Structure 1
Amino acid sequence: MDKVIFVTESDTFKQFFYNGDLFLIKALIILMIADIATGVMKAFVAGNLWSRKSLFGYARKMLVFCIIILANIIDQIINMEGGLVKLTIMFYIANEGLSIFENAVQLGLPVPQELKEKLAVISDGKSSIRTEIKEEFSTNNTPDLPGGELNVNVKVQPEKNEDL
């Protein structure tokens, strides 16, 4: 009688992709699907549903699995017994959960007020972490100098080579 073996039960899958319990992977996949669904709903309601932006989002989701594979390989090399890959997956689970929550807030769904306030602290809707980092490191945003000027003095001297 032929035996059916699922891909996730093969030794190759376990060594290369994920060597632990598949519960975390399944949870991540479910949250990714929920994030995609809430993201599409949010874009549809806002009237800015773009296929290019969606494809970029799907590619980012695939990249998450590439990072998990890399974490699994590193985990096996340094013999952390699954600690690194579990931590990586839990990070992405938290990230997906936060994204779903943000989408729910923007869709106007009822969410607990305390969580909504905490989210407002993280992102006020006008700027993002990426924007804040750009502003922090831009030369036009230097509060120490008037007008956002940046003065840098660099003096380059050739090294003396005494071997010649």
Structure 2
Amino acid sequence: MRYFLMIWVFLLGCLMPIQASLNAKLGSFLKAPLMAALVNFVVGGCILLVVVLGMRTPNNLLQAAKEAPLYAWIGGSIGAVFVSSIIFLVPRLGSALSFALIILGQLAFSLVIDHFGLLGIQVQPVNWGRIFGVLLILAGVLVIQKF
């Protein structure tokens, strides 16, 4: 099961540069990266609304949402910054360099989150193997940027 989930996550990762390229193309047609990001979220929101309604979500959803900590609501704003930024950056840096840097940032900060157990994540101490893995990604970023 673990390998299936790992393959699934890998395939989800493959979708990210496709999404970014499509959003960048939309941004160039609209001549407005922020409008392309808005379209992205409206389309995604409509799809999620249909799925949630189709799943017949329990009626206590609003009550449960009110009980969530304030910081749990920040994810949507992070998504908006990410999508808007990537629409602007991919045409300028290219997809490979943009996503190499994204992966580097994700892994570097993931080590911090894991090590300190931030945001309710189970503590997984940083070790030299994990640091070496991030350094290999950094080396990859430098190679991609050079060539």
* TM-score > 0.5 by shorter chain: no
Higher helix share: 2
Normalised-by-shorter TM-score class: under 0.3
Return the TM-score normalized by structure 2. 0.28
